[in-house]
Structure 1
Amino acid sequence: MDLRQIGASSLVSGPSLREQARQVIRGLIITGQMQPDQLYSVPRLAIDLGVSATPVREALLDLAREGLLEPVRNRGFRVVSLSPGELNDIFAIRLLLEVPVVAEIARARLTPAQTEQLRHLAQATKRAADDGNLIEFLETDRQFHVGLIATLGNKPLADLVETLRDRVRLHGFKNDSTREHIAQSASEHFQLLDALSKQDEAGAVAVMRRHLERSRHVWGEGDRKPHTEDQT
Structure 2
Amino acid sequence: METMHKGSAGLVSAPSLREQARKVIRGLVITGQMQPDQLYSVPRLAAELGVSATPVREALLDLEREGLLEAERNRGFRVVSLSLNELNDIFAVRLLLEVPSVGDIAQGGLSDRQLDELHQLAEATRQTADTGNLIAFLDTDLKFHVQLIATLGNQYLAKLVETLRDRVRLQGFASGESPRDFLKQSANEHFKLLDYIAKQDRSGAEATIRRHLERSRGVWGSRHNTTQAAKASVLDESS
1:12 aligns with 2:22: no
Within 5 Å, give how 1:39-118 maps onto structure 2: 39-118=39-118
SS at match of 2:61: helix
Moved more, 169-178 or 66-75: 169-178
Aligned position for 1:122: 122
Aligned position for 1:213: 214
Corresponding letter in the other structure for 1:118: L
SS at match of 1:82: coil
SS at match of 1:78: strand
Q: Which runs of 5+ in 1 are unaligned?
A: 224-232
User: Equivalents in 2 of 1:129, 1:177: separation in Å?
Assistant: 9
SS at match of 2:191: helix
Query: What displacement does 1:176 show?
Result: 7.8
User: Equivalents in 2 of 1:74, 1:167: separation in Å?
Assistant: 25
Corresponding letter in the other structure for 1:111: S
1:145 aligns with 2:153: no
Higher Rg of the two aligned structures? 2
Corresponding letter in the other structure for 2:78: R
SS at match of 1:28: helix
SS at match of 2:35: coil
SS at match of 2:71: strand
User: Equivalents in 1 of 2:15, 2:180: separation in Å?
Assistant: 32
Corresponding letter in the other structure for 2:137: F
Query: What displacement does 1:13 show?
Result: 2.6
Query: What displacement does 1:2 show?
Result: 4.2
Deviation digits for residues 36-79 of structure 1, max 9, x if unmatched?
01001111111111111111111111110111100000000000
**Contact 1:4–1:49 under 8 Å retained in 2:** no
Deviation digits for residues 149-189 of structure 1, max 9, x if unmatched?
11111111111111100000101138987111111000001
CA gap 1:15/1:119 in 2 versus in 1, 3 angstroms:
farther
CA gap 1:176/1:12 in 2 versus in 1, 3 angstroms:
closer
**Contact 1:173–1:218 under 8 Å retained in 2:** no
User: Equivalents in 1 of 2:120, 2:128: separation in Å?
Assistant: 13
**Contact 2:134–2:178 under 8 Å retained in 1:** no
Corresponding letter in the other structure for 1:48: E
User: Equivalents in 2 of 1:170, 1:90: separation in Å?
Assistant: 12
CA gap 1:179/1:147 in 2 versus in 1, 3 angstroms:
same
Show structure 1 runs of 4+ deviating over 6 A: 174-177
Moved more, 70-79 or 166-175: 166-175
Between the two proteins, the alignment pairs up a number of residues equal to 222
CA gap 1:76/1:201 in 2 versus in 1, 3 angstroms:
same
User: Equivalents in 1 of 2:95, 2:217: separation in Å?
Assistant: 10
With normalisation by structure 1, the TM-score equals 0.91
Moved more, 54-63 or 210-219: 54-63
Q: Which runs of 5+ in 2 are unaligned?
A: 226-239
